[in-house]
């Protein structure tokens, strides 16, 4: 029975990661040198998000989910309080994999813009290069350190769909969360070869800010008050925002047109205090580690003269 419980636990957590995943794209693969004017970069990244806050909720979420389903004809808030807290923790920063496709274009000598499709979320950003040469490998400028700063915006929604074996929980909670995120990376890099012809190593700091809107619209959820008074809970919506602080290290390894890009980012965030129907509050905080591995291709670059 114990092995069956842990198997169900794994399946439930996998379902949570797939169904409620709603984290911003925080893989930093930029270098201090922006895309040269009129040139393109395209690429793909596979990342894994490891966050301590949702991991801390694993046992409570699983046991509460099992109990809630078993007692679905008579559900009280006390039965699913841990479940609702765990769902929110996973939605804020889910543990799991993500895939990112991106395109960058050199808009001006020191400015490039980018679009990223990150596990269904649309991400837009702009980078400004304030330090270093703006040449190309065919027409290199003076050697030295590169530096740039960027601004990234993304928006995303999450819910608990009536699939993946979670139909009972979906109808019980009708849970939804939406978010808007900004990310500001400060990037420095050292070139391998002239103008990063053979790649680079990059490092820097990141500041992020997230705006969260979450809510529950339960269909048959009740709360017991003193004197055995039972009250049906009404739909509930709340808002919160928080900051993230982090650092990253990445490398670009290849030659001219094709590169492998390993990277890792580490963040700390106090997600804030979250209210549940005015009956409970929960404070989340923790560290998130985002390792990734990707491929990048340069398009439209000049041939060496």
In order of 110, 170, 252, the CA distances from 106 in angstroms are 8, 45, 18
Residue 279, pLDDT score: 87
The DSSP code sequence of 1-37 is -HHHHHHHHHHHHHHHHHHH-----------SSPPPB
CB 10 within 8 A of CB 110: no
Q: What are phi and psi of 98, to 5 degrees?
A: -145, 155
Residue 7, pLDDT score: 36
For residues 176 and 19, give the distance between their C-alpha atoms in angstroms, rounded to a whole number: 11
Mean pLDDT, all residues of the chain? 83
Residue 67, pLDDT score: 56
300 three-class SS: coil
End-to-end Cα, the chain, rounded Å: 70
Residue 60, pLDDT score: 52
Residue 10, pLDDT score: 37
In order of 15, 16, 19, 81, 162, the CA distances from 167 in angstroms are 12, 12, 12, 18, 4
Please give the biggest Cα pair distance in the chain.
Answer: 87
CB 236 within 8 A of CB 221: no
Residue 116, pLDDT score: 95
Residue 177, pLDDT score: 86
8-state DSSP, 249:
E
Residue 222, pLDDT score: 85
CB 185 within 8 A of CB 152: yes
- Convert the pLDDT of each residue in 197-218 to its tens digit: 999 999 999 999 999 999 888 8
Residue 79, pLDDT score: 75
Residue 62, pLDDT score: 54
Q: In what order do the strands lie in the sheet with 75-76?
A: 75-76, 221-225, 229-232
Q: Set out the domains of the chain in order of their start, with CATH numbers.
A: 2-299 (2.40.128)
Which residue numbers in the chain have pLDDT < 50? 1-20, 161-165, 305
Q: Which segments within 87-197 are labelled E, that is strand?
A: 96-108, 111-118, 121-131, 146-159, 175-191
Residue 23, pLDDT score: 66
Place of tokens 């001219």: 256
Q: How many CB atoms lie within 10 A of CB 25?
A: 24
């Amino acid at each position: 029975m114990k092995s069956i419980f842990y198997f169900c636990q794994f399946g439930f957590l996998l379902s949570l990661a797939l169904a409620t995943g709603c984290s911003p794209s925080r893989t930093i693969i930029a270098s201090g040198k922006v895309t040269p004017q009129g040139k393109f970069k395209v690429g793909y990244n596979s990342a894994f998000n490891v966050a301590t806050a949702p991991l801390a909720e694993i046992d409570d979420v699983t046991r509460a989910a099992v109990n809630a389903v078993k007692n679905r004809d008579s559900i009280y808030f006390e039965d699913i309080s841990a479940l609702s807290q765990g769902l929110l923790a996973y939605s804020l920063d889910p543990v799991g994999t993500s895939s990112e496709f991106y395109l960058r274009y050199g808009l001006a000598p020191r400015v490039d813009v980018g679009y990223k499709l990150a596990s269904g979320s649309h991400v837009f950003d702009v980078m400004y290069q304030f330090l270093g040469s703006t040449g190309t490998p065919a027409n290199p400028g003076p050697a030295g350190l590169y530096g740039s700063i960027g601004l990234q915006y993304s928006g995303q929604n999450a819910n608990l769909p009536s699939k993946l074996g979670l139909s009972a929980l979906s109808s019980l909670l009708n849970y939804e969360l939406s978010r808007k995120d900004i990310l500001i990376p400060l990037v420095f890099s050292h070139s391998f070869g002239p103008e990063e012809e053979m790649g680079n190593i990059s490092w820097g700091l990141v500041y992020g800010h997230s705006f969260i809107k979450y809510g529950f619209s339960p269909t048959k959820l009740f709360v017991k008050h003193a004197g055995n008074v039972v009250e049906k809970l009404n739909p509930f919506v709340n808002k919160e925002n928080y900051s993230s602080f982090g650092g990253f290290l990445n490398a670009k390894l290849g030659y001219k047109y094709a590169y492998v890009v390993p990277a890792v980012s580490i963040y700390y965030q106090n997600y804030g205090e979250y209210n549940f129907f005015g009956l409970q509050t929960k404070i989340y905080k923790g560290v998130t580690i985002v390792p990734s591995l990707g491929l990048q291709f340069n398009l439209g670059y000049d041939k060496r003269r």
